[in-house]
Every structure is written in structure tokens, then in C-alpha cells.
């Protein structure tokens, strides 16, 4: 069975003929280059491709309590700003969702937005923030959205 595959074949490149050997070598070079090439950015001139991370964090607790402004401010300072000192945005939001017994739950929320260059550690840091929020404020879940976006500092 191994003889069907290039790595296990008893044939050498020279036995295949110079033209075929050259084609095989060229195909390997092209495939390797294509795999390692960065996807071309579709951003307009002057803009860079970054990653946008969003966390949707409900402010209602399981027993009807609310994450008040002072508690949120402490959390923001201790858990978020310490991980993202270069900048972030927080937006007050209102959301709703269907719980397991089909009741529509409505609550105030916070939307945390982080923009970061691709390949940095922000995704893991956002997971840490989400887990801390769930633990501290007894939340069932925090919604994380990750998307590619174009940024330009004007």
C-alpha cells in the first residue's frame, strides 16, 4: 500500500523523468507558498485588517439582582483594563434571550469591544474576562463574537 504514495515509493524523482520531476517540485513549491501566504486584505487603502472581539454581558443575576454601576466599574478596572490597557470600548445595551423553559428574558447588558491586530493574545484574554464575569456575577453565559474588520486611525 505504501508504494502508492510519494513518500513510500521506491521510484526516485530521476526515474520519473526530468520534466515530471520538475513539475512535481514546482507543485510542491507552489503548494507550500500558498499554504504559508497571508490572505490578501480586502481593506481599503490606508486601513489594516484587525480582529474585533465583542463580549455581551448581561447585568441581571439568577435571582433577579442586577450588576450595579459600582460593581461593573470595579470589574472593568480590575479585570478588563488590566488586560487591555491600550484601549477598549464599553457600550450600554439592552438584550433579550429565551431561557430553557421558553420564557423571554430581558435585561440590561454591557457590550465590551476590543480591536486587536491579528495573531495577538486578545482572544484568550477575552475568554479570561468572560470567565471572570460569569464567576463573579453568577452568569450562565457570556456571548463572545469574533470577526475580521478593517481599521484606520485618522
The string of pLDDT tens digits covering residues 66-85 is: 999 999 999 999 999 999 99
Task: Report the CATH number at residue 144.
Answer: 3.30.70.120
Q: Which domain holds residue 26?
A: 2-36
Round to whole Å and give the CA distance between 93 and 95: 7
Round to whole Å and give the CA distance between 89 and 115: 9
C-alpha cell at 135: 464567576
pLDDT in tens, 123-153: 999 999 999 999 999 998 999 999 999 999 9
Looking at residue 99, its pLDDT comes to 84
Asked whether residue 12 is domain-assigned, the answer is yes
Contact 26, 19 (CB under 8 A): no
Number of domain units in the chain: 2
Asked whether residue 43 is domain-assigned, the answer is no
Are residue 27 and residue 72 in the same domain, yes or no? no
pLDDT in tens, 6-17: 233 333 344 434
Are residue 75 and residue 21 in the same domain, yes or no? no
Asked whether residue 80 is domain-assigned, the answer is yes
Cα pseudo-dihedral 105, 135, 128, 114, rounded to 10: 40
Are residue 135 and residue 82 in the same domain, yes or no? yes
C-alpha cell at 129: 474576562
Amino acid at each position: 500500500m505504501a508504494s502508492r504514495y510519494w513518500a513510500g515509493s521506491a521510484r526516485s524523482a530521476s526515474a520519473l523523468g526530468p520534466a515530471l520531476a520538475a513539475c512535481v517540485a514546482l507543485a510542491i513549491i507552489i503548494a507550500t507558498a500558498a499554504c504559508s501566504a497571508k490572505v490578501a486584505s480586502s481593506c481599503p487603502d490606508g486601513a489594516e485588517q484587525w480582529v474585533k472581539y465583542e463580549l455581551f454581558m448581561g447585568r441581571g443575576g439568577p435571582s433577579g439582582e442586577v450588576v450595579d454601576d459600582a460593581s461593573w466599574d470595579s470589574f472593568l478596572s480590575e479585570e478588563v483594563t488590566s488586560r487591555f490597557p491600550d484601549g477598549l470600548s464599553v457600550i450600554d445595551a439592552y438584550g433579550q434571550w429565551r431561557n430553557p423553559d421558553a420564557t423571554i428574558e430581558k435585561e440590561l447588558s454591557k457590550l465590551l469591544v476590543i480591536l486587536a491586530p491579528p495573531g495577538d493574545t486578545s482572544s484568550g484574554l477575552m475568554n479570561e474576562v468572560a470567565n471572570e464575569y460569569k464567576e463573579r456575577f453568577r452568569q450562565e453565559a457570556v456571548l463572545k463574537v469574533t470577526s475580521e474588520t478593517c481599521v484606520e486611525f485618522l
